Chains A and B, each alone.
Chain A
Amino acid sequence: MKKLASAFAAGLVLAIGLGISGMTNPEKIIGFLDVAGRWDPSLAFVMAGAIGAHVGAAQWALRARRPVEPSALGLPASTGIDAPLVLGAALFGLGWGTAGFCPGPAVVDLVAPSTAVVTFVAAMIAGMVVFGARGAATYRPSAFNPTKISNAPPSPPPKSM
């Protein structure tokens, strides 16, 4: 129950932060990404404010857990850059720069439904379903819970017999 309450509170505060910062307006996202237009650096200030408020907790968590987690989960201690990371981020960026939505603001904007946001979120969930439907033989970051704190890369898929 406590975990549900804290998760709810985190979602609530995060959405209010997204709204105050203007990130729920896709035009502000495009204003930042499209440097050839009327450039709006606001997004960089949002990132700076967010990282400034989170870096202490993140570093604390990393230090508190680092000696335990990688070995406990059978993860390599190194942090590797691999093709799925770069390809996935590249695809995400193409969608982000096209629609001006990333997952958080899109979910928040659902409370003010428009054709754009409803279309986007439905397609985003479809994209996640497609990802989940890929065979077990392919690389799956979700094999390791990606929301858990660690700088280690997701575990590789188990070798098939």
Chain B
Amino acid sequence: MFTPVPSLIGGALIGTAASVLLILNDRVAGISGIVGGLVEPRRGEVGWRLAFVAGLLLGGLVVAWLVPGSVVPRAGVAPTAFIAVAGLLVGFGTRLSGGCTSGHGVCGLSRFSKRSFVAVITFMATGGVAAFFVQHVLTKVVR
């Protein structure tokens, strides 16, 4: 279902949050980079990351209450084994390319970064291929 207005409003909040982190913390709001920095901790780079992730979790609870249905337990869109492989690819791939939808997508494109532009085109393209394969090919084989 196409939801242009909530998407724009939610997007504006995401952009505002990224601006807060950039202006007050001098840091880019890339979630893969922030979580990755907790996996490979360095001195002075742990506290703010933990605070940010804590904010994400509390924000999840707040929006679950504010907008019923927004954050609820859901069945996976693919078999669990595929979701596990997908997680590995997302964790490794975002660290290798230095960003995800937030870091390259929102923040990188806002800086007019050529690297981020290439990254976004690339992950949109392979994302489309994977979604097509899982939704149209795999479901026919599995079921």
Partners in one complex: yes
Name A residues whose Cβ lies closer than 8 Å to a Cβ of B. Answer: 2-28, 30-31, 33-37, 40-43, 45-59, 61-62, 79-81, 84-104, 106-117, 119-132, 139, 141-142, 145-149, 151, 153-154
Nearest residue, chain A, Cβ from B136: A36
- The answer to whether A149 and B31 touch across the interface, beta carbons within 8 angstroms, is no
Q: Is B96 a contact partner of A147 (Cβ separation < 8 A)?
A: no
B20 touches A13 (CB 8 A): yes
Place the interface of chain B in its size category.
35 or more
Least Cβ distance of A11 to chain B in Å? 2
| A44–B41 alpha-carbon span in the complex (Å) | 33
Distance between Cα atoms of A15 and B37 in the complex (Å): 19
> What is the minimal beta-carbon distance from A65 to any residue of chain B, in angstroms?
8
* 8 Å CB contact of B14 from A41, A49, A88, A100: A49
A69 to chain B, nearest CB (A): 10
CB <8 Å contact, B94 and A4: no
Q: Are B97 and A124 in contact (CB under 8 A)?
A: no
Main secondary structure of the interface of B (DSSP, over half): helix
- Given the complex of chains A and B, what is the CA–CA distance between A30 and B106 in angstroms? 19
Per CB-CB distance, the 10 closest pairs between chain A and chain B, nearest first, are: A127-B91, A49-B11, A11-B55, A21-B10, A15-B59, A123-B87, A53-B15, A88-B97, A19-B63, A88-B96
State whether A126 touches B87 (Cβ < 8 A).
yes
Question: CA separation between A130 and B76, bound complex, in Å?
Answer: 24
CB neighbours (8 Å) of A124 from chain B are 35, 87-88, 90-91
Residues in B with CB closer than 8 Å to A96 are 86, 90, 101, 123, 127, 130
> Provided the pairs A9-B20, A153-B115 are in contact, do residues A97 and B129 lie with their beta carbons within 8 angstroms?
yes
Q: Which residues of A contact B15 (CB under 8 A)?
A: 17, 49-55
Q: Within the complex, what minimum Cβ distance (angstroms) separates B93 from chain A?
A: 3
- Other contacts beyond A127-B92, A128-B36: 12, CB < 8 A: A10-B52, A13-B59, A16-B13, A18-B14, A53-B14, A57-B19, A62-B111, A88-B97, A97-B131, A98-B82, A98-B89, A123-B90
